Amino acid sequence: MKKKVAIIGASGYSGEELVRLLLHHPHAELAAVTSRQYAGQTLAQVFPKFASHPLSKNLRFTEPKAELLARQADVVFLALPHGVAAEYAVPLLEAGCAVIDLSADFRLRSADIYKEFYAHDHPAPELLQKAVYGLPEIYRDQIKKASLIASPGCYPTSILLPTMPLLKAGLAKADGIIADSLSGVSGAGRKADADYLFCECNESVRPYGLPKHRHLSEIEEQLSLAAGSKVTIQFTPHLIPVNRGILTTLYLTPTGKAVDAEQVAACYQKAYGSEPFVRLLEGKNLPDTKNIVGTNVIEIAWRLDPRTGRLIVMSAEDNLVKGASGQAIQSLNLLSGWPETAGLL
Amino acid sequence: MKKKVAIIGASGYSGEELVRLLLHHPHAELAAVTSRQYAGQTLAQVFPKFASHPLSKNLRFTEPKAELLARQADVVFLALPHGVAAEYAVPLLEAGCAVIDLSADFRLRSADIYKEFYAHDHPAPELLQKAVYGLPEIYRDQIKKASLIASPGCYPTSILLPTMPLLKAGLAKADGIIADSLSGVSGAGRKADADYLFCECNESVRPYGLPKHRHLSEIEEQLSLAAGSKVTIQFTPHLIPVNRGILTTLYLTPTGKAVDAEQVAACYQKAYGSEPFVRLLEGKNLPDTKNIVGTNVIEIAWRLDPRTGRLIVMSAEDNLVKGASGQAIQSLNLLSGWPETAGLL
Amino acid sequence: MKKKVAIIGASGYSGEELVRLLLHHPHAELAAVTSRQYAGQTLAQVFPKFASHPLSKNLRFTEPKAELLARQADVVFLALPHGVAAEYAVPLLEAGCAVIDLSADFRLRSADIYKEFYAHDHPAPELLQKAVYGLPEIYRDQIKKASLIASPGCYPTSILLPTMPLLKAGLAKADGIIADSLSGVSGAGRKADADYLFCECNESVRPYGLPKHRHLSEIEEQLSLAAGSKVTIQFTPHLIPVNRGILTTLYLTPTGKAVDAEQVAACYQKAYGSEPFVRLLEGKNLPDTKNIVGTNVIEIAWRLDPRTGRLIVMSAEDNLVKGASGQAIQSLNLLSGWPETAGLL
Amino acid sequence: MKKKVAIIGASGYSGEELVRLLLHHPHAELAAVTSRQYAGQTLAQVFPKFASHPLSKNLRFTEPKAELLARQADVVFLALPHGVAAEYAVPLLEAGCAVIDLSADFRLRSADIYKEFYAHDHPAPELLQKAVYGLPEIYRDQIKKASLIASPGCYPTSILLPTMPLLKAGLAKADGIIADSLSGVSGAGRKADADYLFCECNESVRPYGLPKHRHLSEIEEQLSLAAGSKVTIQFTPHLIPVNRGILTTLYLTPTGKAVDAEQVAACYQKAYGSEPFVRLLEGKNLPDTKNIVGTNVIEIAWRLDPRTGRLIVMSAEDNLVKGASGQAIQSLNLLSGWPETAGLL
């Protein structure tokens, strides 16, 4: 029998992507979707693209009510803005649901850092120690036993997966790291904001949100854990005219002149050689978002530059899949005891 | 000495394009720009792209007040929604300004048809007979003497210029005309509407607004004038992922089997052979929006299909220039006695 | 045990899409892929996007040799240019393979019409009567028993599926039909031609290939079969800046004033109400390519225009899936006795 | 009387942009354009977009012959691949023409470094000392007196203008500089290469050419001159799906903790406060390629990051205008004694 899952906030881009993936999941059944804006409408009405699925004519969006959802589902995904997600997590956890939160609300261990970066008090600080950071390649064992998953942000995923193994292995220095990221427009969400109109984004490339983007908080917390010391990085996001995809270029410093390409390759091979969703590029191949869009794969390539001594690492992921909903389903699979790749290949 | 002009509603796409063109106009001086949203800010602040122009640091957006603008400018452009434009036209005309209206408010001769298509009473029906339809290639003489110009819509321009000469010359039948149009997203304006977000338009093509789009009212009125009989056409607009440009494909029926390619060519040559902004394509060339974007040119090509007997006419224009702001400046030039191409080449 | 299939010409866009679909097909095994250009390279090397599939490291592109492929596969897909496909079909059929040809070589019944439209003698006219036109919604029973499938062109699919039921039911006139189609750039194939460079297609919309596009031959043959009389249509293709998707707008004339919306709806419901890959749009919904890209679905909507008396029918499909490779796999499923939707949902 | 200019290699993107700008230049007359591929055709035939210009019907592309061009023009632009440009420069200079070369052939002072980066012997090393690097904001006086201008590359312009004043003023360290650049596809030229097809670039973002891109040679030579010591930088170019525009993000280290935002602002103000084509962004504004496309302007903004101590500088330019043809015309204006902005506003 399939496990019942619900999505609160299913009409945004991450929510829609959860719907897409869950409609074809072999072990999960989409039992409820909520949306204040579309309450009462069927899945087929709100998303014509899903209208061929048998469920789409019967499943209706409802108002998001925690107590009701707790009766309808065993696992609840929160695809909500930060600050709002926590309001639902508390009663759902109390009612015995597992919660997979795609917002930033439970990604940090410190309520103070949350307040510094998100400019309001944390709504449920008592849950911060309970939550597991949902990066399966790093925290697989903890996710399996968790009831509250804080699924990582899109930029953090694109930075952490390439960087953490190098820091853990002592191949790259923990200071001076630069992450230069390029994101598709879906990262801004489906909100009616003139900045994200077609004509404002098409034929446009622009940096934004520097030098202190909110995602720095979780990036630095995780990198610090990997390095064993406090890490502060430089992070510059840019908006580029594609629907989906993040391309991150990382500038790292090897810990010594003895660090060579083989060591880096061996480190990545050890960390990710068996990972189903990490693709280590070989030879002359470099990441390209078009090779991973729609999939849960992150591509990683690296180059040691003999002229500068730097280590350049590049990654490409779909911000809505590996950077959000696909990764959240990876966590669902782990905590449910299913094959990790279920519904994701 | 330059003539002073003002733009009411200068922060939308048509308004912005008027600003772009007027900043470099040899005979006009941009004396005032209005915007409720941006009142108090300089041109450079609202439109960084104009920041290199000397005027941009000093010219500030103001609240739109007709009496004040009447003192600041000799000619006032209205880049406002229909219904709102008429409210400004009345006092400005009374104060002695010439008014060039880019909305639909004065394009029709009949207040009844206006109400049928725009769903509200016409706000100033007494002005309908006074207004001149600002299609310079057709109404040049009237525009020269007008004080109220109703500048044509973007779709109508792309349909009327290719069709009117054929109807006037009796080469194409007045009934059964089909116009299939493809428009860039700027046609929807700079309003924060989720339908026009980048991710909703990019990698998307869709028809909309059929079968009774508002622009049909002015298209059919003008075609009826050209044909000397009531014309009803089929019109299907589509939204395509480009910023600018309209490509219209017209399906016409020659009036008889004797109509041949040379007659059509001669008809267009007579109508537009000396027109600076109509480009009649020769040989195998077909219209392409990329060849006219940013210019006031409309490209026209045609094919007689021996298999079906139909005459296919295609046009390409920039919806914001020949379809809106450039054409409005053509009218400005005409009513001011300047060379018609001033500021437009 | 899985059935072995091969793809000749697997490096073009249709071939790549066949690979994508067949790698996840539950009953078919991709046994061979050929490409003159890439012979010797693995699937992972040529298409990094498939590198996560276990087969991608072992399956190597080979030179296309019919006798060899006949030993490797039971069914062979030909994703080759017209004229070339027939050269492979003959020996493969003789060797006992089923052949699913995505080129135009076997789509027509008449070698004369082939020569008229393709400008060379048909390379294997004796096979024309043997081939079945691979439009499953129309020729399902024949496909089940066929050994040579002529999979339809992308434009023809987008025109035939919406039109044939209306002609068969006598609701629309067989003469005067107009099809105005908009296609994404992948329709031009992966050939290094300056016309299809990014900068030549982006921010561009253009008609081409009118008035006598090659696809007219198969469109008119099929429509004539549906109507029971010779049909000649008007067809205008346009190139628009999306990767994938065809949006076709059809202009039809009802056979009488008694034809109403309910009759049209009933006709489509009868023809396609149970079809898994035809989505009849209801209410205010209109087709949008973004709702079907990557799927084997064709969306169809229609409007009766009381002003003109015309029937407007619109369809949207992915030119590489329902318009090519997905539809070819539908035929594979049928002739193999598998569920028609296998590998396509 | 106008000065006569010619363009060798006028059919590529840089050549086309030179044509566009020179057709409207107040002091220059386009006397000849060459193209092996299009010899014999008129400007209107090759570039329909220029067909409205009176010259377009009469000016025909010719074969590129130096001796003939030397008689037709006083100044000759070379829009040719590196290696080829030098072959024309030598005879043209001998014949008394001024030469403005848009290729890389004369940008370096050292023939050895040329060979290291371009992989062939320099074709005319004796001219390297004669050539002036055509960056007007830096070498204005030398350009005025030069007869051979080496117009800078697109990436170098986007990196040098923001960086050189900081190095000269001693505000930023000369070592450890990182330049992360994003370029539109026109940077790859109008060559029929499958890598630059629409479907390969649209919905794709990818790094390329790292870690040793050819443009590093001129970037490092110029930065070394500014710093007074040998500079080696990190440079990562990326391809993004826009037609035009380069966005560069630079990571610099202030020379001391005393370096503050006011000093950086004062440095840029001193260097560029009066420059017509450098726009220093104020307040919260950040560069956006859509604000400069089609213009000769480069936008520059900067942020001091108190968390990392780094100085982030960002620039946006049109790779075909300020990064190529517009800048070349700036040099034409300077060496001709015309206003520097002639034909560029």
Give pLDDT tens digits for A96-145: 999 999 999 999 999 999 999 999 999 999 999 999 999 999 999 999 99
Distance CA B245, CA C184 (A): 17
The residues with which B236 forms a beta bridge, in sequence order, are B180
Q: In this complex, do A243 and B202 lie within 8 Å of one another by their Cβ atoms?
A: yes
Distance CA B76, CA C169 (A): 58
Q: What is the four-CA torsion angle of B262, B265, B269, B270, rounded to 10 degrees?
A: 60
Distance CA A108, CA D199 (A): 40
Distance CA B191, CA C173 (A): 42
Q: In this complex, do C48 and A291 lie within 8 Å of one another by their Cβ atoms?
A: yes
Q: Report cis status (omega within 30 of 0) of the bond before B276.
A: no
Q: Chain C contact for A241, CB < 8 A? A: no
Q: Write down which chains contact chain C via at least 3 CB pairs under 8 A.
A: A, B, D
Q: Chain D contact for B299, CB < 8 A? A: yes
DSSP character for B295?
S
The residue among B89, B125, B88 whose CA lies nearest residue B109 is B125
DSSP character for C59?
-
Q: Chain C contact for A295, CB < 8 A? A: yes
A31–chain B nearest CA distance, Å: 27
Quick one: which H or E segment has residue B139? Answer: helix B136-144
Which residue, among A49, A242, A284, A286, would best test binding to C if mutated, counting the most C CBs under 10 Å from its CB?
Answer: A49
Mean pLDDT of C23-41: 97
Facing residue for A314 by CB, picked from D207, D233, D245:
D207
On the 0-12 / 13-18 / 19+ scale of CB atoms within 10 A, D145 is: exposed
Tokens in use for A77? 């995904």
Q: Chain A contact for D197, CB < 8 A? A: no
Q: In this complex, do B205 and C232 lie within 8 Å of one another by their Cβ atoms?
A: no
On the 0-12 / 13-18 / 19+ scale of CB atoms within 10 A, D84 is: middle
Note the pLDDT of residue A1.
Answer: 82
Q: Chain A contact for C297, CB < 8 A? A: yes
Q: What is the average pLDDT score of chain D?
A: 97
Mean pLDDT of A265-294: 97
Q: Chain B contact for C197, CB < 8 A? A: no
Euclidean distance between the first and the last CA atom of chain A, given in angstroms as a whole number: 21
Distance CA C173, CA C170 (A): 7
Mean pLDDT of C34-63: 96
Q: Chain B contact for D288, CB < 8 A? A: yes
Note the pLDDT of residue C227.
Answer: 98
Note the pLDDT of residue C73.
Answer: 98
Q: In this complex, do A194 and B191 lie within 8 Å of one another by their Cβ atoms?
A: yes
Q: Is A154 a catalytic residue?
A: yes
Q: What are the DSSP calls for A103-136, one per residue?
A: SSTTS-S-HHHHHHHHSS--S-GGGTTT-EE--H
Euclidean distance between the first and the last CA atom of chain B, given in angstroms as a whole number: 21
Q: Write down which chains contact chain D via at least 3 CB pairs under 8 A.
A: A, B, C
Neighbours of B232 (CB within 10 A): 17
Distance CA D345, CA D341 (A): 6
**Phi, psi (5° rounding) for residue C338?**
-90, 165
A102-132: burial string, b at 16+ Cβ within 10 Å, e else? bbbbbbbeeeebbeebbeeebbbeebbeebb
Nearest CA in chain C to D184: C199
Please, are residues B153 and B215 in contact by the beta-carbon 8 Å criterion?
yes
Please, are residues D152 and D129 in contact by the beta-carbon 8 Å criterion?
no
Q: In this complex, do D207 and A249 lie within 8 Å of one another by their Cβ atoms?
A: yes
Q: What is the four-CA torsion angle of C226, C227, C230, C233, rounded to 10 degrees?
A: -80
Note the pLDDT of residue A257.
Answer: 87
Residues of C in contact with A275 (CB under 8 A): none
Distance CA C245, CA C320 (A): 8
Euclidean distance between the first and the last CA atom of chain D, given in angstroms as a whole number: 21
Note the pLDDT of residue B198.
Answer: 98
pLDDT tens sequence across B290-325 = 999 999 999 999 999 999 999 999 999 999 999 999
User: What does DSSP say about strands A61-62 and A178-183: parallel, antiparallel, or unpaired?
Assistant: unpaired
Residues of A in contact with C52 (CB under 8 A): 276-277, 279, 295, 297, 345
Note the pLDDT of residue A17.
Answer: 98
Q: Categorize the per-residue pLDDT at A85 as very low, low, confident or very high, splitting at 50, 70 and 90.
A: very high
The amino acid at A294: G
pLDDT tens sequence across A197-208 = 999 999 999 999
Q: In this complex, do C200 and D198 lie within 8 Å of one another by their Cβ atoms?
A: yes
**Phi, psi (5° rounding) for residue C237?**
-85, 150
Residues 6+ apart with CB under 8 A from A342: A25, A26, A27, A333
Q: Where are the alpha helices (DSSP H) in chain C?
A: 13-23, 43-46, 66-72, 85-94, 111-118, 136-145, 154-168, 198-201, 216-227, 261-272, 326-336
Note the pLDDT of residue C127.
Answer: 96
Q: Write down which chains contact chain B via at least 3 CB pairs under 8 A.
A: A, C, D
Decide if pLDDT at D1 tops 90. Answer: no
Please, are residues B287 and B298 in contact by the beta-carbon 8 Å criterion?
no
User: What does DSSP say about strands B234-239 and B206-207: parallel, antiparallel, or unpaired?
Assistant: antiparallel
Distance CA B279, CA D52 (A): 7
Q: Chain C contact for D233, CB < 8 A? A: no
Distance CA A167, CA A230 (A): 12
Residues in chain C: 345
User: What does DSSP say about strands D61-62 and D75-78: parallel, antiparallel, or unpaired?
Assistant: unpaired
The residue among A323, A84, A300 whose CA lies nearest residue A219 is A323
Distance CA D236, CA D208 (A): 7
Q: In this complex, do D251 and A244 lie within 8 Å of one another by their Cβ atoms?
A: no
Taking the CA of residue C90 as centre, how many other CA atoms within 13 Å lie in the half-sphere pointing to its CB? 12
Note the pLDDT of residue C60.
Answer: 98
* Matching residue, tokens 């994508």: C20
pLDDT tens sequence across D83-116 = 999 999 999 999 999 999 999 999 999 999 999 9
Residues of B in contact with C195 (CB under 8 A): none
Q: In this complex, do B294 and D299 lie within 8 Å of one another by their Cβ atoms?
A: no
Interface confidence, given as ipTM, is 0.97
Q: What is the average pLDDT score of chain A?
A: 97
Q: To the nearest whole percent, how much of chain C has pLDDT over 70? A: 100
Note the pLDDT of residue D257.
Answer: 87
Residues of A in contact with D300 (CB under 8 A): none
On the 0-12 / 13-18 / 19+ scale of CB atoms within 10 A, A316 is: buried
Residues 6+ apart with CB under 8 A from A321: A17, A21, A244, A292, A294, A295, A296, A327
The amino acid at A127: L
The residues with which B60 forms a beta bridge, in sequence order, are B42
Note the pLDDT of residue B257.
Answer: 87
Q: Chain B contact for D294, CB < 8 A? A: yes
pLDDT tens sequence across B4-14 = 999 999 999 99
Euclidean distance between the first and the last CA atom of chain C, given in angstroms as a whole number: 21
Q: Categorize the per-residue pLDDT at C331 as very low, low, confident or very high, splitting at 50, 70 and 90.
A: very high
Facing residue for D203 by CB, picked from B203, B290, B294:
B203
Please, are residues D94 and D67 in contact by the beta-carbon 8 Å criterion?
no
Q: Chain D contact for A311, CB < 8 A? A: no
Note the pLDDT of residue B1.
Answer: 82
pTM of the predicted model as reported, rounded to 2 decimal places? 0.97
Q: In this complex, do D48 and B291 lie within 8 Å of one another by their Cβ atoms?
A: yes
Mean pLDDT of D209-227: 97
For chain B, residues with pLDDT lower than 70 are: none
pLDDT tens sequence across C246-303 = 999 999 999 998 899 999 999 999 999 999 999 999 999 999 999 999 999 999 999 9
Q: In this complex, do C297 and A24 lie within 8 Å of one another by their Cβ atoms?
A: no
Residues of C in contact with D14 (CB under 8 A): none
Neighbours of B144 (CB within 10 A): 16
Q: In this complex, do C211 and B303 lie within 8 Å of one another by their Cβ atoms?
A: yes
Q: Chain C contact for A336, CB < 8 A? A: no
B318–chain A nearest CA distance, Å: 14
Q: SS3 for A29-66, per residue?
A: EEEEEECCCCCCCEHHHHCHHHCCCHHHHCCEEECCCH
Q: In this complex, do B190 and A197 lie within 8 Å of one another by their Cβ atoms?
A: yes
Distance CA A255, CA A171 (A): 5
The residue among D206, C261, B14, D151 whose CA lies nearest residue A285 is D206
On the 0-12 / 13-18 / 19+ scale of CB atoms within 10 A, D299 is: buried
Please, are residues B245 and B294 in contact by the beta-carbon 8 Å criterion?
no
Q: Chain A contact for C290, CB < 8 A? A: yes
Distance CA C237, CA D81 (A): 36
Residues of A in contact with C294 (CB under 8 A): 294
